[in-house]
Structure 1
Amino acid sequence: MDCLLYVKASPRGERSHSLSVADEFVKIWLAAHPGGLVTEKNLFEVGLPSFDGFRIQAKYNIMHGLEHTMSEKNAWKEVEELIGEFKAHKRYLFAVPMWNFSVPYILKQYIDIINQPGYTFGVAEDGGYHGLVQGRKAMVVYSRGGEYIPGTPAEGYNHQSPYLEMMLNFMGITDVESVAVEGTMMGPDKRDENKEQALEAARQIATHF
């Protein structure tokens, strides 16, 4: 059975450009995959655990081969549950607006929780890294107020897609496709034109994803 984890990193609901394009992707994907299941994970609603205190210590205990205290075990269990949910899926869809030229803080928090040694990446004896979440595919719908066209001076301000795709690759998810709704704050004509192009591209990708 095809299972898709739909990670929502925008709090804007129906006003969100990334969510509206991602929702269209889901509709086409479900039509192309009868019996497929979609798990929606709205990061602004699920109440992610903070990654501090006992969780930080638990992580370092794992890295240094030390035992956990009961408090650390209980705190780490929440981390393992989120990682388990993530790894239980073979397909991922992310709806990601640009905030301050990067990703929303809540998505960074989610990645900081699930990106853990021995779970989503491994460390070789020579210190090299290798991803442990392999054989998966990811689709990302970005939205941006401006345009960050490759080869232009504005490209250097885009820390949104380079960061997210680097982290997906780091965990072993190297098959990543994306579309972007750019220019959402550059007037309705530019916004609507770019959004329609993103919608059409998302529909095409959804049929073979």
Structure 2
Amino acid sequence: MSKLLHIQSSPRGDRSASISVATLFLQTYQAANPGDDVETLDLWEADLPEFNGETVDAKYAVLHGQSQTTTQVAAWNAVVKIADHFKSADKFVLSLPMWNFSIPYKLKHYIDILAQPGLTFSFTPEEGYKGLVTGKPLVVIYARGGAYAPGTGAEGYDQQSAYIKQFFDFIGFTDIREIFVEPTLSPTKDEAVAAAGLAAAEAGSKF
């Protein structure tokens, strides 16, 4: 039995294009894999610890092999708990809207918690940076109001998919599959969502 973690980063519920397409993916995935455990992590409901000064100091203590204060230990343990939960999954689905050409701040907060030395990546002078989350596939479902595909003339504004791919590649992912729902602010929104839904349903049955 595998565990699939769906990381949901839109606050719009059933009005969200990314969530509606992700739901179709999960429906066909569960039909094809009835024994698997599927969990949705709603980042707007999750209790994410603040990444404040104490947490930053705790991170650098780990990075430099130094001892931590009692406060830093507590702050670091909260980070480890989030990272361990993430790493417990075997497969991932990430659904997100584009906000100001990038990603929602709740997702950035989650990523800032995950991107920690010894948890999701390592560093040595000899090898440099090395991702520690390996052998796990990821499907990313992006919703965007405009069209940002290559050839549209707006691809340079896409700091959404570029950032997501770079981060997950950094922590060790090599199997990253993408589904785009765009343009959701045009008269053809319904057609765009339907087409992405079909692609998601097919992908879910084979994931």
TM range (shorter): over 0.9
1:173 aligns with 2:168: no
Equivalences for residues 31-110 of structure 1 within 5 A: 31-110=31-110
Is 1:198 matched up with 2:184? no
Q: Once superposed, which parts of structure 1, at least 4 consecutive aligned residues long, lie more than 4 Å away?
A: none
Partner of 2:206: 208
2:104 corresponds to 1:123? no
Q: Which runs of 5+ in 2 are unaligned?
A: none
Please report the TM-score for the alignment, with normalisation by the length of structure 2: 0.97
TM-score by length of structure 1 reads: 0.96
Find the aligned partners of 1:20 and 1:174 in 2 and give their Cα distance. 26
Query: What is the distance in 2 between the residues matched to 1:152 and 1:145?
Result: 13
Q: How far apart are residue 47 of structure 1 and its match?
A: 2.4
Which amino acid letter does the alignment assign opposite residue 18 of structure 1? S
Amino acid at match of 1:207: S
**In structure 2, C-alpha distance between the alignment counterparts of 1:175 and 1:167, rounded to whole Å:** 13
1:75 and 1:66 mapped to 2: Cα distance? 15
Deviation at 1:127, TM superposition (A): 6.0
AA aligned to 1:131 is G
Quick one: distance in 1 between partners of 2:44 and 2:66?
A: 33
Question: How many Å separate the matches in 2 of 1:152 and 1:97?
Answer: 19
Using the TM superposition, give the Cα deviation of residue 122 of structure 1 relative to its aligned residue in structure 2, in angstroms: 1.1
CA drift at 1:124: 2.6
Letter in 2 for 1:147: A
SS in 1 for 2:169: helix
Please, what is the CA RMSD of the aligned residues?
1.0
How many positions carry a matched residue from both structures?
207
